[in-house]
Amino acid sequence: MRTIQDVKRTSWRGRPALNVLRLASNVADGETITIGGVVFEFDSNSSYTAGRIPIVVGTLTPTAVMPLIVSAVNANTPYLAIKISDNEMLLVGKDESSPIGAVPCTETMAGANNAWSAATMNTGAAGGTVAMQLQQRAAVAQDVSLDHILFYFPFTVAAVMVQIRTSTGALKTWTGNVTVNGNVVTVDNSNTTDFAATDVIAVLASS
């Protein structure tokens, strides 16, 4: 199994495309997995379709098959396959040469819940086009009175994470909502457990 160190990127500033393959049931001879134009075929009888990459399987269970899929994908595609478990494989761009578009991912597996999580790779972004910034500030009484606190970022926000701590640094439970409108992120007290004055709200946003 690969580790975080295996997927460490020191110079890539983009966002990789990704998808997840789930394998909950046994596979069968002749079934296929396709990534872009690369077709892999499970082969348990030494016979497979010309032009396809055989994944030679003796035992058809997810436990036996998943490592073989991972190895075949890593050897034959511009993506990095990471075994999460016997039943789940993460497929992600491994460097800046990996396609970042909505590359089709298909399969012909009949087993229950043997499928990709999406019909295409989740679209990534090229190196140098993703901005990221962390902002934090303590809420004041007016923020609490208005039931929200605002943050402005110098880019259009596509993804955001929020963490709220007390003035002493303790992680605080909070059940409000986060909304994004262009460059503006709003953290509100719309539910039952609110942030309070002097609580520190940290917002990590990326384009």
Distances (CA, A) of 145 to 69, 92, 152, 171, 187: 55, 44, 20, 22, 13
In degrees and rounded to multiples of 5, residue 198 shows phi and psi of 85, -15
Distance, in Å, from the CA atom of 94 to the CA atom of 36, rounded to the nearest integer, reads: 16
Say what the pLDDT of residue 75 is: 96
- Rg of the chain in Å (alpha carbons): 22
Distances (CA, A) of 142 to 23, 94, 139, 181, 194: 51, 46, 8, 21, 14
- Structure confidence by residue, pLDDT tens digits, 93-148: 876 667 677 889 999 999 999 999 999 988 766 656 667 889 999 999 999 999 99
> Across all residues in the chain, what is the average pLDDT?
88
Q: Output DSSP code: residue 96.
A: T
- Structure confidence by residue, pLDDT tens digits, 38-81: 999 999 999 999 999 999 999 999 999 999 999 999 999 989 99
The answer to whether 32 and 39 have CB atoms below 8 angstroms apart is yes
What confidence category does residue 13 fall into, taking pLDDT thresholds of 50, 70 and 90? Answer: low
Contacts of 140 (CB under 8 A, 6+ apart): 197
Tell me the DSSP string of 1-34.
---GGGG--SS--SB--EEEEE--S---TT-EEE
Contacts of 82 (CB under 8 A, 6+ apart): 1, 2, 6, 7, 70, 89, 90, 91, 92
Distance, in Å, from the CA atom of 4 to the CA atom of 90, rounded to the nearest integer, reads: 13
| Fold of the CATH domain 132-206 | Immunoglobulin-like (2.60.40)
Tokens of 155: 């880019």
State if pTM tops 0.75: no
Expressed in percent and rounded to 5, the helix, strand and coil fractions of the chain are 10, 40, 50
List residues bridging with 187 in a β-sheet.
149, 178
Distance, in Å, from the CA atom of 119 to the CA atom of 74, rounded to the nearest integer, reads: 20
Whether pLDDT at 7 is above 60: no
Say what the pLDDT of residue 93 is: 81
Domain assignments of the chain as residue spans, ordered by start = 4-116, 132-206
CA 62 to chain centre: 22
What confidence category does residue 2 fall into, taking pLDDT thresholds of 50, 70 and 90? Answer: very low
